[in-house]
Structure 1
Amino acid sequence: MLRLWLKPADLTRIRFADRLHPAGTVLLASQAMRQPSVAAGLPTLARRVAACAPALRPLHHLTPAQGFVPDFMTPLDGLESIEGGLDAIRSTPATRVRAEVSSAYADVPVSAARRRFAAADPHVLDTLVTAMRAYFHQVLAPDWAALNRTHRQVVAEAAGRYALAGADGLLADLHPAIRWREPVLEVDAWQDGEVRLAGHGLIVVPSPFAGPRPRVLVAPDGPALLVYPVEPAVVPPDGRGAGDPLVGLFGRTRTAVLMQAARPGRHTTSSIARQVGISVSSSSEHLSALRAAGLVASRRDGGAIVHRATALSRDLVQR
């Protein structure tokens, strides 16, 4: 567990990134899509990854399938474009590359390419950057606008919580793996330790590809970066059109709500609204109707209502 000590000045400098970081999202997605459960839930993205597997092989070989990656591979700079982020990675001093790769990959099996990467070989770094570029353009780019729309919706909901409950309410309701015990933010991250933010603040990034645990990047003279998981924002096409029996029975929107409740993971009224692209009030109405028909079960979990498809509705969806 990582414990972040926040001063009053840090609480006044909590902010969300206004968009997803292209290069950072590539790193997160490349790990997430190697997890069978994530790939099964996002078959369209999984097919894209498989289609360009040779171009992505250096990225998959040089980065672990899950867990911690060197900080320089998720730079704060380069938010404006994939090329900006890749330039920031490529310009990392060799001493930092050697230190961070050697530390992060101490338990990763050795290979010639990984050994050269840990030695800051510029050719290997260029190969990695080329694979990251291919991942962005061939896997993420078709859904990049949708990913950022969902990001803005999550940020807007967080802004509403801040307006009603202040920094305490915001930090207490980010994610089950993040706990606010003033003045300490406890994060079940991949690393352990104690960090004092010293008034530089905190940048918060919700990401559909963060993985099972939040991630924290601490800069020595700048704000800390906290990336926490939200439900996948890309809803892949599943072929359900106007002629589908469920659409004919329930209508397109209610069918989409039911499909979301039947997917793996934790589904709240707000998250289903984001996934389907409807308002929270509309999501609540559709879920109430499905619950009354015995197709959805709901329970309270903290400040949210969590929904899951019943056995009857899962059978309907499968059929």
Structure 2
Amino acid sequence: MLRLWLEPADLTRIRFADRLHPAGTVLLAGQALRQPAVAAALPALTRRVAASAPALRPLHHLVPPRGFVPDFLTPWEGLTSIEDGLEAIRSTPAGRVRAEVTAAYANTEVSDARSRFAAADPEVLDTLVTAMRDYFHQVLAPDWTALNRTHRQAVSEAASRYALSGADGVLTGLHPAIRWRAPVLEVGAWQDGEVRLGGHGLLLLPSPFAGPRPRVLTGPDQPALVVYPVEPPAVPDGPRPGADPLAGLVGRTRSAVLVQVTAPGRHTTSTIARQVGISVSSSSEHLSALRAAGLVSSRRDGGAIVHRATALCRDLVN
């Protein structure tokens, strides 16, 4: 049992990760999809793992099938892309690699590759990084949107609980293995101990690959990261329909306007009309409807009306 002590300042710094961490998700999925229950719940991903087995073998050999994973393999950095995360892993100091891999291998059978990894052999680390890249692109990338959608849904539900019952409601409803007994958050993680957050707060990350127990990552001058299990997403098991689901909801033209208004740049009624391929009057009509629904905000800038996507619009498009 890991006990996290929250001071009043920590309670004001509870937040959710705004997206899944690509490299961190690879490590979690690399363990989770080796467990029969998770594999059965996500058959499409499981088949991709089997089809890519030779390329993924270094990952499966070097990372234990369950339990503790070296912290440096789930870096704080690299949230933007898989390459950023892999670069953060590759730049880990050798001393930290040796210490964390040795601890992770405490109950693991010794092999030549594992011994070299525990000795911070850069060639073995490069082999692992290559396998992680392959895992992301071959197994996770086809359903990365669905995985992030599951994440956003869990965050939205937590936000609703916060609106009704504050921090107590959020911390109480995370997961059966997480108990909130103010001022202590008890987490049934893989490690034991007592950690005082010291005002740095708590970063929460729901994940379908967290495993049977929540994961906790702590570091100096960092919030405590708590990764906790949620239900796997509804990933299609078979050929994917080519239709745009947003277009099915609001229509093809309005979907195109929504997507365009979330793109970078300055958007006026005329520029959206030109980019979507519709008349200015049609563009104005669609934007008026979206503004009435709270999906677009508009303001006059000189002789033009400039439109911006609201947070709700970005969530819908994502």
CA contact (8 A) 2:214 2:229 kept: yes
Whole-angstrom distance in 2 between the partners of 1:38 and 1:151: 17
The size of the alignment, in residue pairs, is 241
Which aligned pairs between 1:209-288 and structure 2 lie closer than 5 A? Answer: 209-237=209-237
Gaps of 5+ in 1: 242-319
| Structure whose alpha-carbon radius of gyration is higher | 2
**Residue aligning to 1:191:** 191
CA contact (8 A) 2:150 2:232 kept: no
Q: Does residue 1:33 correspond to 2:56, yes or no?
A: no
* C-alpha deviation, 1:127, in angstroms: 0.3
Q: Does residue 1:118 correspond to 2:118, yes or no?
A: yes
* Partner SS state of residue 228, structure 2: strand
Whole-angstrom distance in 2 between the partners of 1:139 and 1:210: 17
Calculate percent identity across the aligned residue pairs.
79
Cα deviation per residue 1:225-246 (whole Å; 9 max; x = unaligned)? 000000111433268x9xxxxx
Alignment TM-score, normalising by the size of structure 1: 0.74
* Partner SS state of residue 44, structure 2: helix
Whole-angstrom distance in 2 between the partners of 1:81 and 1:203: 19
CA contact (8 A) 2:143 2:235 kept: no
* C-alpha deviation, 1:107, in angstroms: 1.3
Letter in 2 for 1:153: Q
Letter in 1 for 2:169: G
Whole-angstrom distance in 1 between the partners of 2:180 and 2:69: 25
* C-alpha deviation, 1:38, in angstroms: 1.3
Whole-angstrom distance in 2 between the partners of 1:238 and 1:60: 25
**Residue aligning to 1:12:** 12
Whole-angstrom distance in 2 between the partners of 1:90 and 1:2: 29
Letter in 1 for 2:210: A
**Residue aligning to 2:271:** none
**Residue aligning to 2:288:** none
* Partner SS state of residue 216, structure 1: strand
Whole-angstrom distance in 2 between the partners of 1:12 and 1:173: 18
CA contact (8 A) 1:52 1:138 kept: yes
CA contact (8 A) 2:4 2:185 kept: yes
**Residue aligning to 1:246:** none
**Residue aligning to 2:45:** 45
CA contact (8 A) 1:216 1:227 kept: yes
Letter in 1 for 2:153: Q
Structure 1 segments, 4+ long, off by >4 Å, are none
* Partner SS state of residue 185, structure 1: strand
**Residue aligning to 1:206:** 206
Gaps of 5+ in 2: 242-318
**Residue aligning to 2:278:** none
Cα deviation per residue 1:51-110 (whole Å; 9 max; x = unaligned)? 000000000000011111000000111000000100010000001001111112111110
* Partner SS state of residue 219, structure 1: coil
Which aligned pairs between 1:168-187 and structure 2 lie closer than 5 A? Answer: 168-187=168-187
**Residue aligning to 2:247:** none
**Residue aligning to 1:105:** 105
Whole-angstrom distance in 1 between the partners of 2:225 and 2:37: 26
Which aligned pairs between 1:119-198 and structure 2 lie closer than 5 A? Answer: 119-198=119-198
Change (3 A) 1:35 1:43: same
Letter in 1 for 2:67: G
CA contact (8 A) 1:42 1:236 kept: no
Cα deviation per residue 1:170-196 (whole Å; 9 max; x = unaligned)? 000000000000000000000111111
Letter in 1 for 2:198: A
Whole-angstrom distance in 1 between the partners of 2:224 and 2:40: 33
Whole-angstrom distance in 1 between the partners of 2:234 and 2:223: 29
Letter in 2 for 1:112: D
Whole-angstrom distance in 1 between the partners of 2:158 and 2:195: 24
Could you say what the CA RMSD is over the residues aligned between the two structures, in angstroms?
1.4
**Residue aligning to 1:23:** 23
* Partner SS state of residue 186, structure 2: strand
Whole-angstrom distance in 2 between the partners of 1:37 and 1:238: 20
**Residue aligning to 1:303:** none
Cα deviation per residue 1:110-168 (whole Å; 9 max; x = unaligned)? 00000000000000000000000000000000000111112111111111111111101
Whole-angstrom distance in 1 between the partners of 2:224 and 2:131: 27
Whole-angstrom distance in 1 between the partners of 2:116 and 2:210: 27
* Partner SS state of residue 9, structure 1: helix
